[in-house]
A and B are shown apart, each in its own frame.
Chain A
């Protein structure tokens, strides 16, 4: 609904890839592309886990998506059959277009290949997704937690992690200090 006569073209914000890119990817990867959506004017493709590295390389080298702007996990517990999903936002500077790539993952121990070799940005994003969702990235050079500490148990953004859950205290004066090897 618009209350003003001056239209701002709100839905034009963000310039997203068009259907021709999806068509080109479909010809190249065939069955690897599971679904495509243009809801809210945003180009989104859902792919099979196996084609991720090849697709990412193709996007970067052949379609000009120079930037991995964002990577995050999502837990669809109770919503979808495949519980986890990793969502990538790519951006091509010259063509000025965005693309969202979703990779659904099943099971409680999800794993998919790392993109660290393609974008340096992937390093911390993947560590964060491991830290908060417990999604493993095979081949990651430094697969430690990022935001939380090593002694933390569980992955707090999983939907079955209770909001008010408490963790044992660490640091000076706590029991954890005695076996703290990191100090």
Chain B
């Protein structure tokens, strides 16, 4: 009957097939997604995945807002690492406009992106460990995320919906003493990684639940268009920061962790190791970032003037006015661009179409967890209901970017 080694064949007649609904609101489906599974006893024989419960018309909203105001919608794509979304979108707009940020602004974008990546992996690991019964790991990781969020709150003014970047720069200057404060967190964040490593990596229960579970081979992963940690766990050495370096990533010293089995355990390992690499990058960003200087381009079309000047000089007042009134706002030249950054889940691409108007004609987001969630069906067929939990945790489905 069941081929699965962990499940002994029950005596008696073969159980009849039944349909089981997991979700849309189910503890293991963090976010909302509906799994309609066909089960024969414990074994899953078929599955239909229903998504879209968090569809908010992201593209339609962007098409009806000025280029600079889409940032709040972009935040809500991957709400676990919103700054990476901000950076990706605005780099694409800047590509249309042929703008290049001052060095300090670029280092700040990289610094906050890497901090966000740590948050993203922490959240993913926290949830997936907790669902396998490791509640301690959850608490430790969420404590670490909160350390980062507190600094973030000072840098950005928000914890979740950051809206940190602007076309041609950043919303805010970094605060006094930021570098020292972030550096002081490093030992704590590394300690948490070590604790998780000790708690989980050699944990018999964790290994039994994750090793060999949800594995897909390299060719299947490529066919589904996997990128990010899930692809690297299957041996696909692809990282946008390496293959298509943007900002100063080509100048940083970091490794790209790659595993080969492509199962839940390897996805865990890749994420754990990537957190350490991101912390290394944060340190390098802090060491190399200029301590003073502008963070936004000195271009009157895109960057707001100093508030004091708005009140005292007519040119600045007009500049401020023109940036906020329909008919005077930023209008990139007609054309289409695609720009990708490495998001928490993989290649986060933005394909923008401009007609030369003040609002985008199209803002397409290539959500990295889309292909991975699509492959969920293939990962769980033939496995048991209990296996759905680690598999779903390891793919890190983020409803915001999946459904948009």
Q: Do A and B bind each other?
A: yes
Name A's B-contacting residues (CB within 8 A). 1-4, 6-8, 10-11, 13-15, 39-40, 42, 44, 66-70, 72, 74, 79, 87, 89, 93, 96, 98, 100, 119-121, 123-125, 132, 145-149, 156-157, 161, 163
Q: Are A89 and B223 in contact (CB under 8 A)?
A: no
- Chain B residues with CB under 8 Å of A68's CB are 225
Question: A114–B355 Cα gap in the complex (Å)?
Answer: 29
Q: Are A89 and B366 in contact (CB under 8 A)?
A: yes
Q: Are A14 and B339 in contact (CB under 8 A)?
A: yes
Specify which of A89, A120, A145 is in contact with B351 (CB 8 Å cutoff). A89
Question: A67–B240 Cα gap in the complex (Å)?
Answer: 14
Question: A132–B404 Cα gap in the complex (Å)?
Answer: 12
Specify which of A1, A15, A89, A156 is in contact with B299 (CB 8 Å cutoff). A1
Specify which of A15, A40, A93, A123 is in contact with B244 (CB 8 Å cutoff). A15
- Chain A residues with CB under 8 Å of B335's CB are 39-40
Question: A157–B56 Cα gap in the complex (Å)?
Answer: 12
Question: A13–B339 Cα gap in the complex (Å)?
Answer: 8
Q: Are A3 and B100 in contact (CB under 8 A)?
A: yes
Closest chain-B Cβ to A133's Cβ sits at a distance in Å of: 10
Other than the given A1-B99, A70-B351, A147-B51, 7 more pairs (CB < 8 A) read A1-B297, A3-B294, A10-B246, A15-B243, A40-B96, A69-B349, A148-B55
Question: A157–B353 Cα gap in the complex (Å)?
Answer: 14
Q: Are A42 and B246 in contact (CB under 8 A)?
A: no
Specify which of B222, B244, B248 is in contact with A8 (CB 8 Å cutoff). B248
Specify which of A40, A72, A147, A149 is in contact with B364 (CB 8 Å cutoff). A72
Specify which of A40, A120, A149 is in contact with B224 (CB 8 Å cutoff). A120
Q: Are B371 and A121 in contact (CB under 8 A)?
A: yes
Interface residues of B in 385-404 (CB under 8 A from A): 403-404
Interface residues of B in 248-296 (CB under 8 A from A): 248, 294
A157-B59 contact given A10-B100, A39-B335, CB 8 Å threshold: yes
Specify which of A1, A14, A125 is in contact with B338 (CB 8 Å cutoff). A14
Q: Are B364 and A70 in contact (CB under 8 A)?
A: yes
Interface residues of B in 329-348 (CB under 8 A from A): 335-340, 347
Q: Are B60 and A40 in contact (CB under 8 A)?
A: no
A66-B222 contact given A14-B340, A87-B351, CB 8 Å threshold: yes
Question: A7–B247 Cα gap in the complex (Å)?
Answer: 9
Q: Are B225 and A157 in contact (CB under 8 A)?
A: no
Q: Are B222 and A93 in contact (CB under 8 A)?
A: yes
- Chain B residues with CB under 8 Å of A69's CB are 225, 227, 347, 349, 366
* 4 interchain residue pairs of minimum CB distance: A147-B52, A121-B225, A4-B103, A3-B102
With most chain B CB atoms within 10 A of its CB, the pick from A1, A11, A119 is: A1
Closest chain-B Cβ to A162's Cβ sits at a distance in Å of: 10
Question: A42–B351 Cα gap in the complex (Å)?
Answer: 12
- Chain A residues with CB under 8 Å of B55's CB are 147-148
A163-B60 contact given A70-B349, A121-B225, CB 8 Å threshold: yes
Question: A39–B354 Cα gap in the complex (Å)?
Answer: 13
B245 proximal to A (CB < 8 A): yes
Q: Are B245 and A13 in contact (CB under 8 A)?
A: yes
Closest chain-A Cβ to B22's Cβ sits at a distance in Å of: 16
Specify which of A72, A79, A89, A132 is in contact with B355 (CB 8 Å cutoff). A79
Q: Please tell me the number of chain B residues within 8 Å of chain A, measured between CB atoms.
A: 58
Closest chain-A Cβ to B297's Cβ sits at a distance in Å of: 6
* Closest chain B residue, CB of each to CB of A159: B63
Q: Are B101 and A163 in contact (CB under 8 A)?
A: no
Name B's A-contacting residues (CB within 8 A). 51-52, 55, 57, 59-61, 64, 91, 94-96, 98-103, 106, 220, 222-225, 227, 236, 238, 243-248, 294, 297-299, 335-340, 347, 349, 351, 353, 355, 361-362, 364, 366, 370-371, 374-375, 403-404
Question: A6–B102 Cα gap in the complex (Å)?
Answer: 9
- Chain A residues with CB under 8 Å of B351's CB are 70, 72, 87, 89
Question: A11–B238 Cα gap in the complex (Å)?
Answer: 20
- Chain B residues with CB under 8 Å of A1's CB are 98-100, 297, 299
A67-B366 contact given A87-B351, A147-B52, A163-B60, CB 8 Å threshold: no
Q: Are A67 and B340 in contact (CB under 8 A)?
A: no
Question: A169–B59 Cα gap in the complex (Å)?
Answer: 22
Question: A10–B353 Cα gap in the complex (Å)?
Answer: 19
Specify which of A40, A124, A145 is in contact with B370 (CB 8 Å cutoff). A124
Q: Are B349 and A93 in contact (CB under 8 A)?
A: no
Q: Are A157 and B60 in contact (CB under 8 A)?
A: yes
Question: A66–B370 Cα gap in the complex (Å)?
Answer: 17
* Closest chain B residue, CB of each to CB of A98: B338
With most chain A CB atoms within 10 A of its CB, the pick from B52, B101, B220, B338 is: B338
- Chain A residues with CB under 8 Å of B102's CB are 3-4
Closest chain-B Cβ to A83's Cβ sits at a distance in Å of: 13
Closest chain-B Cβ to A48's Cβ sits at a distance in Å of: 19
- Chain A residues with CB under 8 Å of B340's CB are 14
Closest chain-B Cβ to A119's Cβ sits at a distance in Å of: 5
Q: Are A3 and B298 in contact (CB under 8 A)?
A: yes
- Chain A residues with CB under 8 Å of B52's CB are 145-149
Q: Are A163 and B64 in contact (CB under 8 A)?
A: yes
Question: A15–B374 Cα gap in the complex (Å)?
Answer: 27
- Chain A residues with CB under 8 Å of B220's CB are 120
